[in-house]
Structure 1
Amino acid sequence: MAAPNGAPLGADSEPRRALRVALLGCGVVGTQVVRLLTQQRADLAARVGAPLELVGVAVRDLTIAREGVDPALLTTDAAGLVERADIVVEVMGGIEPARSLMLSAIAAGASVVTANKALLAADSPTLYAAAEAAGVDLYFEAAVAAAIPLVRPVRESLAGDRIKRILGIVNGTTNYVLDQMATEGLDLDLAVKQAQQLGYAEADPTADVGGYDAAAKAAILASLAFHTRVPLASVHREGITGITADDVAWAGRTGHVVKLLAIAERTDDGVSVRVHPALVPASHPLAGVHGAFNAVFVEAEAAGELMFYGRGAGGAPTASAIMGDVVSVARHRVLGGRGPVESKYADLPMLPASAAITRYQMRLDVADRPGVLSQVAAVLAGHGVSIEAVRQAPQPVGLDGEVAPAASLAHLIITTHAATDAALAATVAAIAELDSVTRVVSVLRVEGA
């Protein structure tokens, strides 16, 4: 039931006071948040039990026109804005001033909704502690996979289960780039430029192609899944800057697709979290994730394997996840109760990437003479690594970039069985020292088999 002015009624049949929402940042995501708050005002009020009133939008430059945003809402006084809000939505990004503003909002009694994966990965314990001390909510669904509901299932829906592994694509930009390299035959630089033209990549794509964005998301997910603080520094990170068109082409020839994967695993010894490019078998569902989409597998003891798929970036998808959080924290303010607090009781040790169990596919240019394969196999055996498959291709590319005469060189593609990353890396280093090996052309991990 509603009051004559449309405001929801409380238990005492009196209209509830509107909850004041402050927005920090008004870029692509921020403008979509404003749109949803404005266009869905009546529905949101009905779902929450009280109206949501946007009281201000903090920006750096008042002169920039923002489509669909009332200029009267814009302010450069972010500090003053957060002190008069019930709910603060932060989409400005970066560490500072975002952290200071969120802490000020929490201290003033406001609940916070953020999409800031960099800050959460770098200093979530500070934010958690402040929110718990103030008795307010800290929600961040949009920080990991935009519109894909992933944070809530991991920290709430699976709270009664034991998560063993998370494996997935959590960066839409790199997935688009690698997909274009595979389907259109583009080299890395051209695919990145195309992603920039379409708005998938920033002018400086380092955070994406360098794996930094995916590493931050992996740290957040691992912390939630394993009830352990996972510092960003503990996440092994490799980007896709070393991936060539030749790597992608050979992946297809051997029945694989190259993907940038985030992998978090819980073992008897501790927690391993890593981000790196890997070969995924063409039969695996992740191999079919195209464009700027994300997909994440969560493996739990009781639930088994769950897959989450959807748009992992973009203004509207990210705003959708933010508004879901806004409704949740708003309901708590109207009806009472609180959302989840930090769960760090397990306090599991962090394992180095060298301890991870994985498989390698290495491509070698070798002398085309009898006995070379047995030499390579002996090195593998000496390091406790067994061969799963070996393939020889004619006419490898020589050191000068020209196709080498078939009589002089052979191109070997060797896929190993599972071993520790340390053992595999040592094996590759030893193989590179063999006189019969002209060069190690490429080494990629194989995941998802």
Structure 2
Amino acid sequence: MRVLVTGAYGFIGSHIVAALVTAGHDVTCAVRGARLDTRFPGLKAVACDMARDTTPAAWLPRLEDVDAVVNCAGILRERAADSFEAVHVQAPQALYLACVKAGVRRVVQISALGNVRDGAFIASKHRGDEQLLSLPLIATILRPSVVYSARGSYGGTSLLRAMAALPWLTVVPRAALRPCIQPMAAEDVGLAVVAALEDPPQESETLELVGPRAMGLDDYLQCWRRWLGLPMAKIWAVPTACVKVISRLGEWLGVGPLGSTMQGMLERGNLGRPDALEHLHTRLNLTPRTLEHALAEAPSHVQDRWHARLYFALPLLRVSVALLWLGSGVVGWLLPPEAVADAAPNGLPSAATALMLARGTATLDLLLGALCLLRWRSGWVLAGMLLMLIGYTIGIGTLWPAHWLDPFGGLLKNLPLMAALIVLMAIEEKR
């Protein structure tokens, strides 16, 4: 079967692509920019943009020789043109209308389990589901609870791993101490998609993808803690009021998975109907694994502990580097001309040249520090910081070698700073 998969390189999408390839299907990845992912050598990729491809005409050329479509595309936060309405409703609707015109009748949509009151993310997903069900297609809508994998993580799953790896204490919202999630392995989600395509229903259907055991978040995190090889930790139940404040802060910052959607899902619960598991087994012949079973099949390694522990540490490193550059820029502008002239090495031709260099580098420091905080083209910004630091070190160390012996380590401190920037550049890629 020739299958077009949107969002193919995402956390859930990549597991679905792997399951389809394992089952012997011919997969085409519809991704932004048509970039080829080396994780899937030999697969075809076509360009798409769920924020802009909101007409059937944009999708029709991509459906040539396609037998089925799997839509895994989704965003947890709105950003610029990536709105919930465009990505979860308008673009999928255009894709499905194009399927009707092209005669592609089999569609699988990865939606989300939850209540529309949980936030705009869930509400938009469910609006997209309703529009799909109204079309003359054979559609299977899959609504998973929390999706995890022992072989990798992204977004909310990375956050939960990091919470599990906190030293001494496991922080849990008080409302999430009761059974509120039914975690589902991403590999089992892939199997569900394969089964839905190979055994299509008589008419469109909606299935809830849930694991076999309802868990509280504390139990879930302790399972991950055991998997990471860490001793059990005490549970710190955070009051709901505090969780709401933190969630609003996450929404305001606009980064990371923590926000109103996650808060609402944990407060109201993210559980399937009582007959959801039986329906999965009857319809798809699928029996999802328990979290303990899935983790036992893939023992952790030291790199997993590194990733979990660095989740909270790396943002602190990034912010501290950005503040250092901003502080350097402020000091460079506040220094009076006389102080700049007194501090300049003898190799410079004039005090005016020294002042111009000081103000110019201070301006560049301010610009790079601000861009680092805003995470604008992070790779380029961090590379610029590293080049500036190397330039400072070589220039000052050559023109004024006495600074190598500065009792406060003025130049020597640049060496660990270079290492910190190299680390940030190395882990900049998020997927």
TM-score grouping bracket, smaller chain normalisation: 0.3 to 0.5
**Larger RCO: Structure 1 or Structure 2 (Cα < 8 Å, ≥ 6 residues apart)?**
1
Q: Which has the higher helix share?
A: 2
| TM-score of the superposed pair, with normalisation by structure 2 | 0.34
Q: Which has the higher strand share?
A: 1
| TM-score of the superposed pair, with normalisation by structure 1 | 0.32
